[in-house]
Structure 1
Amino acid sequence: MLKFKTTTLLFALVLILLVAFSIITSLNIIFIILLLILYLVILVYGSYSICSGFYVKTYCSAKIAKREIAITFDDGPNGEVTGNVLNILKDSDIKACFFLIGENATHNEDIIERMNNEGHLIGNHSFAHSNYYDLYSSGRMMDDLMATENAIFKITGRKTRLFRPPFGVTNPAVKKSAAKLNYLVIGWSIRSLDGTISDPDKIFKRVCRRLKPGAIILFHDNHPKILSILSRFIEYVTKNEYKIVRLDTLLNITSYK
């Protein structure tokens, strides 16, 4: 599996050799340009493929044979939706992990308190979910993460170790900030695309046909359509003898500092 440091060292070595060779033999500069383009392509792939682990170790699934899975929710809490999601989970005695946006958390303290009291995990999903988050310096990322961590701690008295980067984008700054703040970076193995696909039936079928032991499913709790999808999904999982367990149980990790 490609890693950022080893890839960069390898490309730097090849680049030096090509430059030296071009000086000696008048090698066409196009080869150097192609090498740089290939390097940039790999960097972009590593950034947008969270489960590649290119920049930072990421937990995307559990390698198990047992028919156990975990469900996660991003971008909440939402005052109109998240409470109903919690109702559905409570009725089925299921524990999930909610990756919260800090700004939303400050306006929905009662919902977060309920999440914590009902045994759900709470993770960090940045403070404002900025479209430019991947351009932040590591220092700015740490400030952002701490703002969310403090908002969650104020409500629950607990400091989470779970971090899911906005849009699932990783880079050296994400690795550095996560390491300094003792965060585990959490990805997913099944992306529901419930934020982009409008038809709930298509979302439901997409998730179900990708289901396998150890899966981590990514949902969002900021749109009402998740309610019908979640109810159907729980019914499907039960019928097919899967068990939904808490994320830290699935991954065998410690979720709070």
Structure 2
Amino acid sequence: MITHKNISLFFIFLLLLLLLLNLYFAINFWWFVVVVSVWFLFNLVGSSLISSNYHVKAFCNNPLETEKKIAITFDDGPSVFTLEVLALLKKYDIKATFFCIGKNVEAHPEIIQQIVDEGHLVGNHSYNHSPFFDFYNAKKISEEIQKTDAVLEKHTSKKINFFRPPYGVTTPSIRRALKITKHKVIGWNIRSLDGGTKNQNLIFNRLIKRVCPGGIVLLHDTASHSVLVLEQFLQFLQQNNYKVISIEELLNLKAYEN
């Protein structure tokens, strides 16, 4: 299994082997550079792909699901656009999971309460969603996660179990923090890229090309173009007999603990 621990042990062994050989033969310095560079590349790719399980186990879909069932998730809210998302979900009788940023929960307590009251699930998406989150040490990461849990639990009255790391990046520090907080990491396998482009046709076509049984969709509830694509997508699912179910049902995991 390709994990951070296994890859690190392998490359440490290679470096030690080169050092040993260097005692008897003149090993070109560039061999060491190549080994370290490949090691760095493995870490970069593994950390960037949440589905790789390189640092932590992430639940990105249910590969055993054969029926047309998927789950829909939203990141980075709550925001004023979350209200439009909620209206659409209510119109199509769909329950989703919202991975919320702690500071946004504090800014919009009435919206997070509406999310919970309407039967949707909420998960932890860090407190600040800082671009430097991946460089935090385990102590600071666990503090951010726990701070966000605290503001969410005012509305759920239950302990939050789901965490989605900012940008979907994982690191050794995140792994160590999660050993403290005990959260389950929820990823995705159907990414809309609506956080990086406003081209609605591109977003919509990307979604429908990737829809498959057991999939987890990643959208954002922070912009008008995402809301417009969401309605198109919900219509597509309806027309193609897809059923949207909760993350709990899809993965057989609990979003909360009493």
Whether these two folds match at TM > 0.5 is: yes
* Matching residue of 1:71: 72
* Matching residue of 2:172: 172
* Matching residue of 1:242: 242
Aligned mates of 2:222, 2:228 — CA distance in 1? 13
Q: Is the 8 A contact 1:208 1:233 kept in 2?
A: yes
Aligned mates of 2:227, 2:3 — CA distance in 1? 39
Q: Is the 8 A contact 1:22 1:29 kept in 2?
A: no
Q: Which amino acid aligns with 2:173?
A: A
C-alpha displacement at 1:198, in angstroms? 1.5
* Matching residue of 1:219: 219
C-alpha displacement at 1:179, in angstroms? 2.1
Identity %: 36
* Matching residue of 1:100: 100
* Matching residue of 2:146: 146
Aligned mates of 1:68, 1:246 — CA distance in 2? 10
SS at match of 1:72: strand
Aligned mates of 1:165, 1:122 — CA distance in 2? 14
Aligned mates of 1:233, 1:73 — CA distance in 2? 14
SS at match of 2:219: strand
When normalised by structure 2's length, the TM-score is: 0.97
Question: Deviations 1:157-196 (Å, cap 9, x if unpaired)?
Answer: 1221100000111011111111211100111101101011
Residue ranges of structure 2 left out of the alignment (5+ in a row): none
SS at match of 1:253: coil
Moved more, 113-122 or 69-78: 113-122
Question: For this pair of structures, how many residues does the alignment match?
Answer: 256
* Matching residue of 1:4: 4
Query: Are 2:97 and 1:109 aligned?
Result: no
Aligned mates of 2:138, 2:206 — CA distance in 1? 35
- State the 4+ residue runs in structure 1 displaced beyond 3 angstroms: none
* Matching residue of 2:82: 82
Compute the RMSD of aligned alpha carbons. 0.9
Moved more, 24-33 or 165-174: 24-33
Q: Is the 8 A contact 1:123 1:164 kept in 2?
A: yes
Q: Which amino acid aligns with 2:73?
A: T
* Matching residue of 1:163: 163
Q: Is the 8 A contact 2:99 2:125 kept in 1?
A: yes
Query: Are 2:171 and 1:201 aligned?
Result: no
* Matching residue of 1:131: 131
Aligned mates of 2:171, 2:50 — CA distance in 1? 10
* Matching residue of 1:30: 30
Aligned mates of 1:94, 1:58 — CA distance in 2? 24
SS at match of 2:160: coil
* Matching residue of 1:59: 59
Aligned mates of 2:100, 2:25 — CA distance in 1? 57
Question: Deviations 1:39-86 (Å, cap 9, x if unpaired)?
Answer: 0000111111111000000011111111110110000000x2101111
Moved more, 216-225 or 154-163: 154-163
Q: Is the 8 A contact 2:116 2:155 kept in 1?
A: no
When normalised by structure 1's length, the TM-score is: 0.97
Aligned mates of 2:156, 2:12 — CA distance in 1? 47
C-alpha displacement at 1:28, in angstroms? 1.1
